[in-house]
Structures are given as C-alpha cells and as structure tokens.
Homo-oligomer: A and B are copies of this chain.
Amino acid sequence: MCPNGKKRKGDEGAEDTTNNDHLVTSDDQNHPANLIPSLCAKFWTLGWVTGTGGGASIRDDDLVYIAPSGVQKELMKASDLYVLALSQQTDLKNRVYLRSPPGGRPSQCTPLFLAAFTKRGAGCCIHTHSHWAVLVTLLLEAQGPGQDKVFEINNIEQIKGFGRGFQKQGNLDYHDTLRIPVIENTSHEEDLTEFLEEAMDKYPDTYAVLVRRHGVYVWGDNVHKAKTMCESLDYLFQLAVEMKQLGLPWLSNVPKVITSSGR
C-alpha cells in the first residue's frame, strides 16, 4: 500500500527538492497519511487531543507516519505529517526524517511511539490527554505511595476488548484483571521514553501506559486494535471515575456463573 520511501544513495539532492511529498499523497482513505488526520479529527470530538495535546502514529512495515507537534488536531492534513524509516534511526535522539512538513515541528511523542514500534512490533500508537485518564492517575496518587503505580480493574465486560498480551493469542476474559502501569510525568515529553520502556519491561503484556497527570499511551498490532483498545480503555477510565464518585470499588470478587454448557 505504501510506496517505498527509503533513500537511495546519491538521491539526496532530488529528495531535498521534493521533500518526498509522494509519501503522504494518496487517494486511498486507508493510507496511513489519510488515516492519521481522520483519526485525530475523531479523537478531537472525544476530548482526547484538546488544544493540540496528544497525537498518533502509524507504522507500515519500515515506514512511520507521525502527527506533528502543535497542530489543531481536528484540522490536520496529510501534508502536515512527518515520515521516517525505522531502519534508518541509528541514533534515537537524533532522528532522520524522510519527509518533514514545511514549517513543522516534530512531535515530542516521537521516541515514545518508536518504543512501541521497536519493542512491541506495534503498527499504531495513540497518545491522548483524556481527562478520564488524568483523573484515574490522580485517584491512584491520592491512595498514597506504593498504591499509585498501577490501575487495576476486573469483572467488567469491556475488559474483553484487550488482547492477552505481546505475542499471545486471544483476549482477556471478563473475570481477568486489567493492569495498566502508571509512570511519573517529566517536564520534557521525550524524557518519558526510558520510563515507558521500563514499564513495558515490567508489564510485558500491557498495551497501554498511563502517565501521571498527563494522559495515556496505547498501542496495538494495527490501527484497528490500537484504536479500539484506546476506546475501551477510555470507557474503563470513565467508568472507574464514576465508580469512585459512587463509592464502588474497582476490584471485586465476582464468582463464575455455572452454565449448562459447563464452561
């Protein structure tokens, strides 16, 4: 689907001229360069990317498409996107781009998106500032040190929207406990990367990491999985906040129903 955007030796002059605009030009609405703007516009209506916050990135084989920094997310266009080749990133702190939008600024989320792609083989990573996510991290913080590093909820049907984990088959069960680790926020978003990676190592099966007082990163094998898990998670965060307001606990001991099928 995606044109090969890798640089060929001796080709730099031409690329400087064209800026590889062909990488973000397609009539296919499912092309990553078209999907990112349409997803971001949808996320804006959900309150996930308010005031240029948040972002999204899609990986197609070696090519990575990234929403830029500081753009009104509901107005983003394909021509606003950055594109890079994963295989060309020898120094993750000094990234090289195949395509940069004129006058654009790369997203500080970039190294976090790349972590999901390289450490988990993800095909899409979404970052939201959803205030439900922020409230969940604040509620955990209010529980005090030692109680604030992971969000846990079980016995809610929507939990079944999550895969069992990295390179595992199938989805979580209704009775399973969904665990989303929480990392502390840093002044510079790029500095979150090491902590995100630590959380990935400690919770190898998670598809999301909460950032205290900031938001959440969610990834998946492809756009469909990342987007629907992000939706399911936001649903659970909202539910969790409302449960807290109503004095209902997030973890419960619900017995398995005995059915005639014997399952």
Cβ 8 A contact of A135, one of B53, B161, B239: B239
Asked if A51 meets B191 with Cβ closer than 8 Å, knowing A184-B257, A246-B244, the reply is no
Known: A131-B238, A232-B53. A227 touches B72 (CB 8 A): yes
B-chain residues with CB within 8 Å of residue A156 when the two chains form the complex: 134, 213-214
Q: Contacting A157 at CB < 8 Å: which of B47, B72, B215?
A: B215
Inter-chain contact A158/B248, CB cutoff 8 Å: no
B187 near A235 with CB under 8 A, answer: no
Is the Cβ of A135 less than 8 Å from the Cβ of B185? no
Return A112 CB to nearest CB of chain B, in Å.
13
- B139-A239 in contact (CB<8A): no
Contact B242 A131, beta carbon cutoff 8 Å: yes
Could you say how many copies of this chain the assembly holds?
4
Q: How far is the CA of A138 from the CA of B254 in the complex (A)?
A: 12
How many residues of A sit at the interface, in one of the four size bands? 35 or more
Q: Is there contact, CB below 8 Å, between A213 and B254?
A: yes
Which residues of B lie under 8 Å from residue A120 when comparing CB positions? none
Q: Is A89 an interface residue (CB 8 A)?
A: no
A173 at interface by CB-CB < 8 Å:
yes
**Min CB–CB distance A89 → chain B (angstroms):** 18
Tell me whether A17 is interfacial, beta carbon within 8 Å: no
The one of B131, B211, B229, B259 that contacts A186, using a Cβ cutoff of 8 Å: B259
- Taking a contact as CB atoms under 8 Å apart, the answer to whether A53 and B131 are in contact is no
Contacts of A92 in B (CB 8 A): none
Which residues from B are CB-within-8-Å of A195? 257
Known: A50-B158, A135-B242. A235 touches B129 (CB 8 A): yes
